[in-house]
Amino acid sequence: DTAVSQTPKYLVTQMGNDKSIKCEQNLGHDTMYWYKQDSKKFLKIMFSYNNKELIINETVPNRFSPKSPDKAHLNLHINSLELGDSAVYFCASSPPGQGYYEQYFGPGTRLTVT
Amino acid sequence: DAKTTQPNSMESNEEEPVHLPCNHSTISGTDYIHWYRQLPSQGPEYVIHGLTSNVNNRMASLAIAEDRKSSTLILHRATLRDAAVYYCILSPNYGQNFVFGPGTRLSVLP
C-alpha cells in the first residue's frame, strides 16, 4: 500500500562512481519531484516532472539527470559522485489539476559519498 | 518566491494545544499557505493548507490573519507523535515549486 516508494533506502558509494535512485508512486499522480535535504536539513527542490516532461529544473549540476520512463516512475541518476552530493534525497508526487497541489513524499534515500 | 519566517523551536506538553506561528508579510494574493511536517527520519507529510479562510481538518486547524500576512497552525491536543519539524510554505495557485525553510522544531514533553 506504499504510496511513494524509493529504492534504495541507503546508498554508500565512493567519489567518482555513478549511481541511480528509483522512485515509484501508485497514486495515479501526474507530477513527480526530486528534493535534496542536506546536512543542515534544508529541503530544496531539484526537479519536477509532469506527465513525463521536465517542468522545473533548479540549479542542479548536469551530473544529475532525472529519467521518467512513465508517469509512475521518476528515477534520479547521478554521475561522477562528489562528497557534496551526500544528502537525503526525497521523491514526491502530486495529483493533476489546477490550483492547490498536495505533495506526497517518499521515505527518502540517504546517500553517503566517501 | 515569497518568504516565511518561523521560530526555530517550540516546546509543548502532551495533551495541550500548540500554536505554531508563521509570518509571511510579502504574501501575494494568489499564494496558498501550506503546512507540512517532517517526523524524524521520514519524508515530509501534508498537514493542512488554506488561502483566506480558516481551515480545519482531522490533523489540525489553520488560522489565517485577515491581512494574510501571518498564519497559525493549531494542534488541538499535542501527542508525542506530533514531535516533528513543521514547515510553513507559500505557493502560487498554479505553482508546484515548494520552497522549504528551516521550519519550527516542535518538542512534545510527556
pLDDT, tens digit, 9 for 90 and up, residues B34-59: 999 999 999 999 999 999 999 999 99
A-contacting residues of B 35-94, CB under 8 Å? Answer: 36, 38, 41-46, 49, 85, 87, 91, 93-94
Lowest mean pLDDT among B9-13, B53-57, B70-74, B105-109: B53-57
Residue B53 amino acid letter: S
B15-37: average pLDDT = 93
Q: Would you call A54 exposed, middle or buried from its count of C-beta atoms within 10 A (0-12, 13-18, 19+)?
A: exposed
Please state the rounded mean pLDDT for residues B19-26: 96
Q: Which of the four pLDDT bands, split at 50, 70 and 90, describes residue B8?
A: very high
Contact A100 B49 (CB under 8 A): yes
- State pLDDT tens for residues A91-106: 999 887 655 568 899 9
Decide: residue B7, CB within 10 A, 0-12 exposed, 13-18 middle, 19+ buried: middle
Q: Count each helix (H run) and each strand (E run) in chain A, helices first.
A: 0, 11
DSSP class of residue B45 equals E
Give which of B53, B28, B93, B48 is closest to A99, Cα–Cα.
B93
To the nearest whole Å, the CA of B46 is away from the closest chain A CA by 7
CA distance A39 to chain B (A): 12
Bond before A8 cis per omega within 30 degrees: yes
The residue of A39, A43, A44 whose CB has the most chain B CBs within 10 angstroms, and thus the best one to mutate to test that interface, is A43
pLDDT in tens, A37-74: 988 888 888 988 887 778 777 778 999 999 999 989 99
* Three-state DSSP class for residue A96: coil
CB contact under 8 A, B100 and A55: no
Of B36, B96, B99, the CB nearest to A94: B96
Q: Rounded to whole angstroms, how far apart are CA atoms B109 and B14? A: 6
Element counts in chain B: helices (H) and strands (E): 0, 9
CB contact under 8 A, B44 and A105: yes
- Contact criterion met (CB < 8 Å) for B97 and A48: yes
B96, A101: Cβ pair inside 8 Å?
yes
Taking alpha carbons only, the member of B52, B15, B21, B25 closest to residue B35 is: B21
